[in-house]
Structure 1
Amino acid sequence: MRPISNQRFNAFAAYCRSPQALAIAEEILWFEADDSRIVATIIRDRPDSEFAGIILGRDEKERYRWINATEFFKSKIQARAALRAKIEEIIPILEQHRKQGDNDKKPVDFFTPLKKTKQPLHQSFLNLTSLEGFSPAKEIIEPMMRWHEDADGNFVEQFQTTGFDSRIWELYLFSLFTEAGFIIDKSSAIPDFSCSGLRGEFCAEATTVNPSRDKKGKILPPPPIEAEEEMEAAIRDYFPIKFAGPLTEKLRKRYWERENVQGKPFILAIQDFQSPTAMTMTRDALPIYLYGYRQADDWSMENPKVERVETHQWGNKTINSNFFSFEGAEYISAVIFNSSATISKFNRIGLQASFGSDRVRLFRFGTVCKTENGNPHITEYAHYVSEDAMVETWSEGLEVFHNPRAVHPLPMEMLPDAAHHFMPDDGLMRSRLPNWLPTQSYTHIEVEELPPQPDDNELF
């Protein structure tokens, strides 16, 4: 039995934790044993301040679930000793203890290539499953995927082929909502997420911005955006048009009329995958399209001026702006976005949680909005990802754009660690920001050549 971080324990076991459990007990120590076939935690009972050990093992579907527990003790030292003894007692008979007897399905497996697919395997899927540099991401997804119910019947195929980016975005949202303390109801495939927890209930539907294609299906390159003027033009019109397509498509489906959504806050969760680094460039364009406001040309900190945006035009295409003003959009409580929620986030969190090859080094750099003494400012950052550095969470980088017309507003406490943005009538956005909000995130993968290890005979 060896100690592990809370981050590593959560990667194994957060998906089976009841929100009510944390209301009555506090987890204070975490462990793993028997080559990670067992994970455990010591809890402190809040009413009585007594301590006990909880033991989890993999069930028939390879999901970590409760298999045993110790008695309660007056001290955590006693509880830890009892937990160690209980685990040593269970290991020889773990096979019979781990079986729950409530399912007979095979474990969900994202990684074994399907024998028959209509499309070739996605290059990012091949990278994830075959390159050592992505081993932290692969290993942190493994316990997560065991909890996935393929409600629409094609998740695994799309994850391996044409829909890799979209499915990674959905896995991110699954991790995000779990981290925030919500149980996800899997009884219905529509919408993607029906969440409930101590803070309340909400529903969410995932969508993505994808590359433009011609009539033959070939990907069309985005416009050149190397010069500052080109970037400004793209943020002003091209990127809002790209966001408009998937958002208005979801709006037309009127999810809020479904019985399992009625009366609850409803979120659209969007990520930009139109090009490999698109999400790092398009963040500023999303609120322009959502609210129909942008900074005036003579805007300054001393004299912040905005102007109304009625339409966006690029080439022969013109669309209306101000998504939240559209008919039916009052039932969209918020739109959420995270520029850093890509496969690289899984890689970084996986490495921090001690998953993957020991040879992998990840160098992260970009820009961040830091809030110090109540004053936000943009600065650059660069660092190697490590286990003892600032812990990256799934909610890091998340931005919530609240709808001022929402019939069912989304309370901020639903996603307390996110950045929350509000648009009053004067068009000047008000925000509640976390202390650290990455606005651009890039991750460079290095695989080190480790020195050769001596033979046993050389040690004597």
Structure 2
Amino acid sequence: MDIFTPIVSEELQHPHFRLISQPGLYDPESKVLKNWADGFADRDNKFAKEFQTTFNSSFWELYLFACFKELTCSVDFSHPAPDFILTSPYGEFIAEATTANHPQGFRPEWDKDPRMLEESKMEDILRLSTIRLLQAVTDKHKKYISSYSKLAHVQNKPFVICVTPFDQPFFFLQDSLALVRVLYAYEQPLIIPGTHEGELLIVGESRKYKVQKKPGVEIPLGLFTNPAMADVSAIFFNNRATLCKVRALAGEGKYPVIFYGSRAIESEAETGVQRFVAERPNHQETLLDGCHILLNPFAKHPIDPQIFEGREIAIHDYDPQSDSYKLKIPDGFLYQRACMALIPETEEALKKYKASTSSTTTYQELSSEVWAEDQLMYIGGQNGPFCENHMAHYCGWTILVSLDSIDQDWSGLAVNVLCYSHPKFMQANSDDNITSLELAEWLPTKEDAYTAIKHKIDTISEQS
């Protein structure tokens, strides 16, 4: 299938296609993409046009096709839908591709400048991506219910949604954090400094049960923590599947490419992160590096995880009985990776590309998160013996009320800053520059503890 011969005018071409089709800039990378497309069937005779005009969704399909071949799956293209009908050494399954894209009126992922990164907040990146991934997954689930489930070649087979985000500039920084929130309502481990230099101790975990789309509009998370999405067997994901992946797999080109990122250290002796910086061809990366499979414990037709075991793939799961999120990461797993091509500014092809993508468009932005004043909200999670955590904003303070699981009584903490998550609260509470309060007594109910800590805040306000 020829995907590179232009069939639309240049002004209709997607910026990424316009970049990789510039003579001399992406010649080795073009060979990788052509290899991915080898054997791919264009069933509706519009794939090449979509690759050139919208790019990301077509790029993702080609990547998935290459991954399935790498996983020794055979693909049946004899049916018009869904995207992939697969036979693996461990059984048949169905896979449907989708991407999480930027909301209408928001900045697209390709319109970025490295200087913008200084103004970007990770929590904002995660919140937007959580909203967009949630939408992408639920839309495909609805499509399965209304259409795919009625097809004879789909029925009684595991159904896997393959999703990746292209929803904003620097989308690649969020790893799988947003998707884990969407599926398992899990936020992150709670970590404190240890007694030795550089030592970090995991003391618990925080949860994320909803995401705020805009003030007053909260969307529940945790799609795989109940049977509501039992038709979906798993989610396949890779936030490292970008043009940097193509560059990592390509041979040497006209200009050097520098790769930097981190890999997991997982052994009996050590668990940690190993950072790297390497120039092509010294950087080593595989097609499957950075892939995730996220299993649904409530699936009607579970997929056999052996398809993905023993490879460069992280396997996520959830135990409903213990309400536990589980993650199995292989040694050397690719956590993060970005790249930079050292192309001179005088390169005519690059100058032409930059001129074609220059923009003065004013974009919409995600509205700031706002919590209702004086409303105690359940946030869950666990910090040592403390559980049943609740948080509230009150008079510019953030209050955390927790249950001591041993003595079954309640206490409260407060910090004089607005926090929107348990980890941010812990960070503020350990900051010597931020005023904090705590109750000296333990009380029988969360309401009693909340009232008592508010009284301490009111007393300070009156004194000041």
Normalization by structure 2: what TM-score?
Answer: 0.64
Q: Which of 184, 188, 195 pairs up with 2:86?
A: 195
Please name the residue that 2:258 is paired with.
363
1:335-383 Cα offsets, whole Å, 9 max, x none, are 12112111221222122xxxx64x3432110122222336431232111
Please name the residue that 2:330 is paired with.
434
Q: Which of 26, 32, 40 pairs up with 1:140?
A: 32
Task: Please state whether the residue corresponding to 2:39 is helix, strand or coil.
Answer: coil
Residue 158 of structure 1, CA deviation: 0.8
Task: Please state whether the residue corresponding to 1:249 is helix, strand or coil.
Answer: helix
Instruction: Say whether residues 1:423 and 2:322 are aligned partners.
Output: no
Residue 142 of structure 1, CA deviation: 2.1
Letter in 1 for 2:330: P
Task: Please state whether the residue corresponding to 2:224 is helix, strand or coil.
Answer: helix
Please name the residue that 1:92 is paired with.
none
Q: Which of 340, 356, 365 pairs up with 1:444?
A: 340
Please name the residue that 1:37 is paired with.
none
Residue 238 of structure 1, CA deviation: 3.2
Asked if the contact 1:299–1:306 (Cα under 8 Å) also holds between the matched residues in 2, the reply is no
- Partners of 2:46 and 2:228 lie apart in 1 by 29
Letter in 2 for 1:310: Y
Instruction: Say whether residues 1:245 and 2:127 are aligned partners.
Output: no
- Taking structure 1 as reference, are residues 304 and 188 closer, same or farther at Cα in structure 2, changes over 3 Å only? farther
Please name the residue that 1:305 is paired with.
204
- Partners of 2:329 and 2:209 lie apart in 1 by 28
Please name the residue that 2:462 is paired with.
none
- Partners of 1:165 and 1:268 lie apart in 2 by 16
Residue 390 of structure 1, CA deviation: 6.8
1:155-208 Cα offsets, whole Å, 9 max, x none, are 1111001x2011111111000000110111111231111111323211111111
Task: Please state whether the residue corresponding to 1:176 is helix, strand or coil.
Answer: helix
Over the matched positions of the two proteins, sequence identity in percent amounts to 25
Q: Which of 100, 109, 115 pairs up with 1:209?
A: 100
- Partners of 1:276 and 1:232 lie apart in 2 by 14
- Taking structure 1 as reference, are residues 238 and 141 closer, same or farther at Cα in structure 2, changes over 3 Å only? closer
- Taking structure 1 as reference, are residues 130 and 320 closer, same or farther at Cα in structure 2, changes over 3 Å only? same
Which ranges in structure 2 are unaligned for 5 or more consecutive residues? 194-199, 345-464
Please name the residue that 1:172 is paired with.
63
Q: Which of 382, 385, 393 pairs up with 2:277?
A: 382
Q: Which of 89, 92, 111 pairs up with 2:4?
A: 111
Instruction: Say whether residues 1:155 and 2:47 are aligned partners.
Output: yes
Letter in 2 for 1:153: N
- Taking structure 1 as reference, are residues 146 and 424 closer, same or farther at Cα in structure 2, changes over 3 Å only? closer
Asked if the contact 1:369–1:379 (Cα under 8 Å) also holds between the matched residues in 2, the reply is yes
Task: Please state whether the residue corresponding to 1:141 is helix, strand or coil.
Answer: helix
Residue 252 of structure 1, CA deviation: 0.4
1:289-320 Cα offsets, whole Å, 9 max, x none, are 11123347678975643355432113244212
Residue 129 of structure 1, CA deviation: 1.4
1:240-263 Cα offsets, whole Å, 9 max, x none, are 112111111101012344322222
- Partners of 1:219 and 1:340 lie apart in 2 by 18
- Partners of 2:128 and 2:165 lie apart in 1 by 13
Task: Please state whether the residue corresponding to 1:399 is helix, strand or coil.
Answer: strand
Please name the residue that 2:268 is paired with.
373
- Partners of 2:248 and 2:155 lie apart in 1 by 37
Letter in 2 for 1:379: Q
Asked if the contact 2:233–2:299 (Cα under 8 Å) also holds between the matched residues in 1, the reply is yes
Task: Please state whether the residue corresponding to 2:319 is helix, strand or coil.
Answer: coil
Normalization by structure 1: what TM-score?
Answer: 0.64
Task: Please state whether the residue corresponding to 1:126 is helix, strand or coil.
Answer: helix
1:222-255 Cα offsets, whole Å, 9 max, x none, are 9x98579x423553x4331121111111010123
Asked if the contact 1:151–1:189 (Cα under 8 Å) also holds between the matched residues in 2, the reply is yes
- Taking structure 1 as reference, are residues 433 and 361 closer, same or farther at Cα in structure 2, changes over 3 Å only? same
- Partners of 1:343 and 1:435 lie apart in 2 by 24
1:50-80 Cα offsets, whole Å, 9 max, x none, are xxxxxxxxxxxxxxxxxxxxxxxxxxxxxxx
- Partners of 1:427 and 1:304 lie apart in 2 by 17
Task: Please state whether the residue corresponding to 1:244 is helix, strand or coil.
Answer: helix
Residue 264 of structure 1, CA deviation: 1.7
Please name the residue that 1:181 is paired with.
72
Asked if the contact 1:209–1:272 (Cα under 8 Å) also holds between the matched residues in 2, the reply is yes
Letter in 1 for 2:134: A
Please name the residue that 1:344 is paired with.
244
Asked if the contact 2:95–2:161 (Cα under 8 Å) also holds between the matched residues in 1, the reply is yes
Q: Which of 232, 235, 247 pairs up with 1:335?
A: 235
- Taking structure 1 as reference, are residues 289 and 144 closer, same or farther at Cα in structure 2, changes over 3 Å only? closer
1:376-406 Cα offsets, whole Å, 9 max, x none, are 31232111232xx575221111011111111
- Partners of 1:291 and 1:447 lie apart in 2 by 42
1:228-267 matches, within 5 Å, as: 230-232=121-123, 234-235=125-126, 237-254=127-144, 255-267=148-160
Which ranges in structure 1 are unaligned for 5 or more consecutive residues? 1-107, 449-460
Asked if the contact 1:279–1:340 (Cα under 8 Å) also holds between the matched residues in 2, the reply is yes
Instruction: Say whether residues 1:268 and 2:161 are aligned partners.
Output: yes
Residue 321 of structure 1, CA deviation: 0.9
Letter in 2 for 1:173: L
- Partners of 1:326 and 1:428 lie apart in 2 by 13
- Partners of 1:372 and 1:282 lie apart in 2 by 22
Please name the residue that 1:286 is paired with.
179
Task: Please state whether the residue corresponding to 2:26 is helix, strand or coil.
Answer: helix
| Aligned length in residues | 327
Letter in 2 for 1:399: H
Task: Please state whether the residue corresponding to 1:401 is helix, strand or coil.
Answer: strand
Please name the residue that 1:405 is paired with.
298
Letter in 2 for 1:414: I
- Taking structure 1 as reference, are residues 302 and 218 closer, same or farther at Cα in structure 2, changes over 3 Å only? closer
Residue 124 of structure 1, CA deviation: 0.7
1:72-83 matches, within 5 Å, as: none
- Taking structure 1 as reference, are residues 384 and 314 closer, same or farther at Cα in structure 2, changes over 3 Å only? same
Residue 330 of structure 1, CA deviation: 0.7
- Taking structure 1 as reference, are residues 423 and 130 closer, same or farther at Cα in structure 2, changes over 3 Å only? same
Asked if the contact 1:239–1:282 (Cα under 8 Å) also holds between the matched residues in 2, the reply is no
- Partners of 1:375 and 1:421 lie apart in 2 by 21
